[in-house]
Structure 1
Amino acid sequence: MAEYLIYFNQQWVGDHSEEWFRGRGPLARAVVEEMKAAGVLVFTGGLEEETEDAFSADATSGTLLITDGPYVETKEFLGGLAIVDVADDEAAKLWAGKIAEACGWPQEVRRFKSRAQSS
């Protein structure tokens, strides 16, 4: 089994009506329940959209510096994510596809390094 990150940038969501978003909620919750039932869900969640509430930690100078706001000023920022533990790339693609269809916007998938590689 391998862990994969399935995520989207907030800007990929697009402009939709409140009614459209309300219609997507049950679809997205159903996919999360399906992932739980299949035993592949590690974690899922959406992030607050207000980047001014974000803060950053930077120790690259040798001294820890905590600052308000995102580390990098950018037009794109992470909107939400799911971590799944599945057998292979094909299974990760299956779940990313289900999430994309339920949410109505693209998802990107990245495999985590194996614990042996990252230590």
Structure 2
Amino acid sequence: MAALGELAQLIRSKNAGPWTLTVDIMFPDAQTFEHVVASGAVTPAAVGPLLGVDPGLIEMFNYAPANAIKFSFPRQYPNGHPEDTDAFGGQQFAPLVDLEIPSPNAEPQQTAAAGALR
């Protein structure tokens, strides 16, 4: 396994208006992009808990021509609100850096209790 931060060329977050944040994950080549997308590790269900966002509110787009994954979601507080701790939205990507991406040829793991594939 490798961390997303090791595979991506760039991971950034920023404001997309006063009510929305956006995250861009850009990869150095098509092979790495395709591997990460195929792994199923970067999905709304996976990133929502890391970012403290309901996965149902995350809009995600895989954009192959740019070897990029982009997603947007509502901010907890609007930009400039007294409780907003990140006025530019530039720190929100941090929990994604350590997201584990399975190796391309990794075997599915079995749970000891049920023997089920996960």
TM-score for both structures, normalised by structure 1: 0.36
Structure ranking higher on relative contact order (CA contacts 8 Å, 6+ apart): 1
Q: Which has the larger radius of gyration?
A: 1
TM-score for both structures, normalised by structure 2: 0.36
Structure that is richer in helix per residue: 1
